[in-house]
Structure 1
Amino acid sequence: MTTSTEELLPATRRALLHRLAVAQSEGRAPSVVAAVGRGGETVWSGARTSAGGSWSALDTQYRIGSITKTFTAVLVLRLRDEGLLDLGDPLEKHLPGTAAGEVTLAELLAHTGGLAAETPEPWWERTPGTLRPELADVLGERPFRHPKGRVHHYSNPGYTLLGAVVEKLRDAPWEEVLRREVLEPLGLRRTGARPQAPHADAWAVHPWADVLLPEPVEELGLMAPAGQLWSTTADLVRFGVFLARGDERVLSARSVRELGTPAAPPATADLASGISYGLGTQVLRVGGRTLVGHSGSLPGFLAALFFSAEDDVTAVVLANCTSGPPVVGVAADLVRIVAEAEPRIPQPWRPLPEVDRAALDLTGPWYWGAAPHVLQLTGDGGVVLGPLNAWGRGSRFRACPDGTWLGLEGYYAGETLRVGRRPDGSVSHLDLGSFVFTREPYEQGAPVPGGVHPEGWRGGAQ
């Protein structure tokens, strides 16, 4: 991925720079860098610093904290897609002997395993990882804070356990597996577990005076899969494009969509802000659009990476201060500025290269009871079945080899859509998870559950 030759309009670029400048000034950050991607390329980048001089907005490394978790989640889903594990597996199956063996891998990914948010003291982010040489040191004597599977409770130790599963099944260190299976295929050459020049220094800014204090930069040891990585805006835009589209060398489009699908209900404090959690990702509803990505923080650094798939816009914001600019809000604003100022131009409509005649015969109106629905073909060989009006349940369905379709979203996610046929082979109805859809409302002779009154439709009350 390279910087786009199709630059944003001057007014858009100025609005982005203004938002970045306000963030650095009001957030009192030694430096803030940002970049925006669209169409698979970086279309804008900017830097604001207190030091002056040259500062590479695209190539300067910052520590990205918990964005590391998304990288770890990618590795776990790779193992799942290879058949080496199932997300419903208990941890004990792959990592026996821990105090958290009954927690499933899916619960660890979505922070619903009930584990503690942090390791036992001292605080792991400001102390050497050598203080926690074993998983027992990460989990402590009381690893659980909630019943497993009941609530969303963010857990950093949970991602140490996931990293240990990756190491066990790959028989190699987490860092080595990540570099070989994700960083190198995606061309993330400036992302790694340790800083390489040029990189930003870690600072704390005094809350009531414009003075700085250096922050320690620790090797996290076993906690590395939860927050060790350093990266740049250029690399993170590239990673955001991958999260939006997939890359068969790393993870399919279907699997990256799974990463960004809410898998845990919002915590009580997050209900009003519209934050939920996928598998290693945060899912936000901001200003009517859905943003998928992750935020990150470690002493001396703040980071945010979010994309809007609908708008095809990715935004990255990095700062080198412990507290300062609201980087998640800034990233959301950068997405909004581009999406509103330069709305995505849709691809030209084109007819399907070929058509499945049997599927074509299924298109058009269907009725669930008396409620009208419409079935349409999609360009990927699937179908969409949804209500004719705005109210009701609908879904996209993926074609399966056996002639059925599998629901991909909403109420029908995971449900099977089947075609019912009469003895002569003609289509009589659609069956969707026991719901029967017919060509006419309550069609006589169709296998409508409970039957259809033999006198049919009538006028007036009798």
Structure 2
Amino acid sequence: MTSSEALLPSTRRALLHRIATAQSEGRAPSVVAAVLRDGQIAWSGSRSCVDGHAPDADTQFRIGSITKTFTAVLVLRLRDEGLLDLDDPLEKHLPGTGAGAATVFQLLGHSAGLAAETPAPWWERTPGTVRPGLDDVLGEQPQMHPAGRSHHYSNPGYTLLGSLVEALRGASWAEVLHREILEPLGMDRTTPEPQAPHAGGWAVHPWADVMLPEPTEDLGLMAPAGQLWSTTTDLLRFASFLARGDDRVLRASSVEEMRTPSAPAEAGDWAGAYGLGLQAVRREDRTLLGHTGSLPGFLAALWFSVEDDVAAVVLTNATSGPLTGAVAADLVQIVAEAEPRIPEPWRPLPDVDEELLALAGPWYWGTHAYVLKLAAERGLELQPLRGAGRSARFRVCPDGTWTGLNGYYAGETLRVVRADDGTVDHLDLGSFVFTREPYDTGASIPGGVAEGGWRGLAI
């Protein structure tokens, strides 16, 4: 991955200051970070407690639960190939787990109601051989909450998804991951086991400036929930894919589906949501997508903003220390606000459909004024002309209707209704009638229009 146009010196200094502050105040052995802008690496930097030994963009750190996003991509690939449906119960493809009533969709979005952790001992600090079977991962009571009602984060849930991938692919999770994601995206420094150069994991004493090395365990069946090691360069490649899609791995529409909230947030947590293997948070007026991760000795975060086309990765080798999620969010914000994205030039549509052009302009739902605009590839956009209202984008369908893509009208059908003489009578949007004039007396409006038409107030 090549570098983009250089950031301004003041922006670079602000980025370095942020990670330097994080390393110092968070008392971390080392911190490495990088920023992606316009699909290219725009900045990278690091800090270390040992002079001359700061990590670089090729140094591996353990990324913990960012691994889950990779597992989710593998599952979405199975769906896109028709090997499963997201509404399928797990039992259909992976029988005998004890959690088979959970759907694939619920497992991806942590709404299956499964326990957050495995039974003791602490899975992150013990070898995977302690849990040789799914029964050892799930325990005697895997279901802790009603399925489908709310988000409850579950590490064992992603073990089940990893086992699902293995069952349908006939190969290990690690093999499938390498073949279907890492190799196509050129992520040759992302591996299940550490490969030099890599950081060592440390615990820093909470009340003294001393350190203790953390064990590095192979997580076994829990690997799909948190096993991977990676670098800032590789993770920015992954961030670019998550923002744009890549037909070699997963099409853009499926990646967009991953970014869509999948379950109600937990009570009191209205600033964040979870899609399918991706977290979403609101930072002021900005939506950040990605994932955070932690394992003993390591903290990691990856955030990207689709609207700003900026992504940031922060990795550190401390069990507790810098809040990498907050730091990565700050890096995105620094770049997005200091050097805002330059809009693409306005360009006219490649061709004009006179019949479609005739639909453009003002329309009225009752007395509410809207405007219908043409978009690329015969798409349409509906927006309120003033005040509050329901905006929507529409994709044209082969039968000449349009399907809503977002908001209230997502999935709803927009069609043109014509009079006997072929002229346009009204637009039907999910049964709502839009006419060229408010309560047009010449159009077919449910309930009709009062005789005598519009009138003033007689005194």
3-state secondary structure, aligned to 1:69: helix
Distance in structure 1 (CA, Å) of the matches to 2:418 and 2:196:
67
Superposed displacement of residue 41, structure 1: 0.5
Partner of 2:342 in structure 1?
345
Distance in structure 2 (CA, Å) of the matches to 1:172 and 1:461:
81
3-state secondary structure, aligned to 1:43: strand
Aligned length: 459
Superposed displacement of residue 56, structure 1: 4.0
Question: Could you tell me which amino acid in structure 2 is paired with residue 2 of structure 1?
Answer: T
Partner of 2:114 in structure 1?
115
Distance in structure 2 (CA, Å) of the matches to 1:299 and 1:381:
52
3-state secondary structure, aligned to 2:376: coil
Partner of 1:215 in structure 2?
214
Does the CA contact (< 8 Å) of 1:152 and 1:267 recur in 2?
Answer: yes
Partner of 2:277 in structure 1?
280
1:263 aligns with 2:243: no
Question: Could you tell me which amino acid in structure 2 is paired with residue 397 of structure 1?
Answer: F
1:90 aligns with 2:89: yes
1:371 aligns with 2:368: yes
Greater CA deviation, 361-370 or 372-381?
372-381
Distance in structure 2 (CA, Å) of the matches to 1:76 and 1:356:
40
Distance in structure 2 (CA, Å) of the matches to 1:269 and 1:223:
29
1:289 aligns with 2:269: no
1:3 aligns with 2:3: yes
Partner of 1:198 in structure 2?
197
Superposed displacement of residue 445, structure 1: 3.6
Does the CA contact (< 8 Å) of 2:65 and 2:225 recur in 1?
Answer: yes
Superposed displacement of residue 381, structure 1: 3.2
Superposed displacement of residue 380, structure 1: 4.1
Does the CA contact (< 8 Å) of 1:35 and 1:57 recur in 2?
Answer: no
Partner of 2:175 in structure 1?
176
TM-score, scaled to structure 2 = 0.97
Distance in structure 1 (CA, Å) of the matches to 2:451 and 2:247:
55
1:416 aligns with 2:416: no
Equivalent runs, 1:134-153 vs 2, <5 Å: 134-153=133-152
3-state secondary structure, aligned to 1:256: helix
Partner of 1:228 in structure 2?
227
Partner of 1:50 in structure 2?
49
Partner of 2:457 in structure 1?
460
Partner of 1:63 in structure 2?
62
Distance in structure 2 (CA, Å) of the matches to 1:322 and 1:380:
50
3-state secondary structure, aligned to 2:64: coil
Distance in structure 2 (CA, Å) of the matches to 1:108 and 1:449:
44
Question: Could you tell me which amino acid in structure 1 is paired with residue 44 of structure 2?
Answer: S
Does the CA contact (< 8 Å) of 1:444 and 1:454 recur in 2?
Answer: no
Change (3 A) 1:40 1:116: same
Change (3 A) 1:83 1:355: farther
Question: Could you tell me which amino acid in structure 2 is paired with residue 3 of structure 1?
Answer: S
1:306 aligns with 2:323: no
Partner of 2:352 in structure 1?
355
Question: Could you tell me which amino acid in structure 2 is paired with residue 264 of structure 1?
Answer: A
3-state secondary structure, aligned to 1:208: coil
Does the CA contact (< 8 Å) of 2:149 and 2:264 recur in 1?
Answer: no
Superposed displacement of residue 446, structure 1: 2.3
Change (3 A) 1:433 1:376: same
Superposed displacement of residue 149, structure 1: 0.7
Does the CA contact (< 8 Å) of 1:260 and 1:283 recur in 2?
Answer: yes
Superposed displacement of residue 52, structure 1: 1.8
- CA displacement, residues 402-446 of structure 1 (integer Å, 9 cap, x when unaligned): 222221211112222222122233222111111111111111242
Question: Could you tell me which amino acid in structure 2 is paired with residue 327 of structure 1?
Answer: T
Does the CA contact (< 8 Å) of 2:47 and 2:55 recur in 1?
Answer: no
Alignment match of 1:444 (pick from 428, 441, 444): 441
Question: Could you tell me which amino acid in structure 2 is paired with residue 178 of structure 1?
Answer: L
Gaps (5+ residues) in structure 1? none
Superposed displacement of residue 54, structure 1: 4.0
1:430 aligns with 2:427: yes
- CA displacement, residues 228-268 of structure 1 (integer Å, 9 cap, x when unaligned): 11110011111111111111111111111111111122212
Distance in structure 2 (CA, Å) of the matches to 1:54 and 1:212:
17
3-state secondary structure, aligned to 2:363: strand
3-state secondary structure, aligned to 2:96: coil
Partner of 1:385 in structure 2?
382
Q: CA RMSD in A?
A: 1.3
Does the CA contact (< 8 Å) of 2:363 and 2:436 recur in 1?
Answer: yes
Distance in structure 2 (CA, Å) of the matches to 1:76 and 1:303:
23
Superposed displacement of residue 359, structure 1: 2.3
Distance in structure 2 (CA, Å) of the matches to 1:72 and 1:416:
34
Partner of 2:402 in structure 1?
405
Question: Could you tell me which amino acid in structure 1 is paired with residue 248 of structure 2?
Answer: R
Change (3 A) 1:265 1:203: same
- CA displacement, residues 357-392 of structure 1 (integer Å, 9 cap, x when unaligned): 332221111111110111112224321112112411
Distance in structure 2 (CA, Å) of the matches to 1:278 and 1:340:
26
Greater CA deviation, 209-218 or 92-101?
92-101
Greater CA deviation, 205-214 or 435-444?
435-444
Distance in structure 1 (CA, Å) of the matches to 2:51 and 2:379:
54
Partner of 1:77 in structure 2?
76
3-state secondary structure, aligned to 1:237: helix
Superposed displacement of residue 269, structure 1: 4.2
Change (3 A) 1:202 1:99: same
Greater CA deviation, 420-429 or 209-218?
420-429
Does the CA contact (< 8 Å) of 2:109 and 2:262 recur in 1?
Answer: yes
3-state secondary structure, aligned to 1:257: helix
Partner of 2:246 in structure 1?
247
Distance in structure 2 (CA, Å) of the matches to 1:186 and 1:448:
54
Question: Could you tell me which amino acid in structure 1 is paired with residue 3 of structure 2?
Answer: T
Alignment match of 1:317 (pick from 296, 308, 314): 314
Distance in structure 1 (CA, Å) of the matches to 2:164 and 2:104:
9
Distance in structure 2 (CA, Å) of the matches to 1:325 and 1:337:
18
Partner of 1:38 in structure 2?
37
- CA displacement, residues 82-128 of structure 1 (integer Å, 9 cap, x when unaligned): 11111111111111122111111111111111110011111111111
Question: Could you tell me which amino acid in structure 1 is paired with residue 441 of structure 2?
Answer: Q
Question: Could you tell me which amino acid in structure 1 is paired with residue 134 of structure 2?
Answer: L
3-state secondary structure, aligned to 2:217: coil
Change (3 A) 1:93 1:117: same
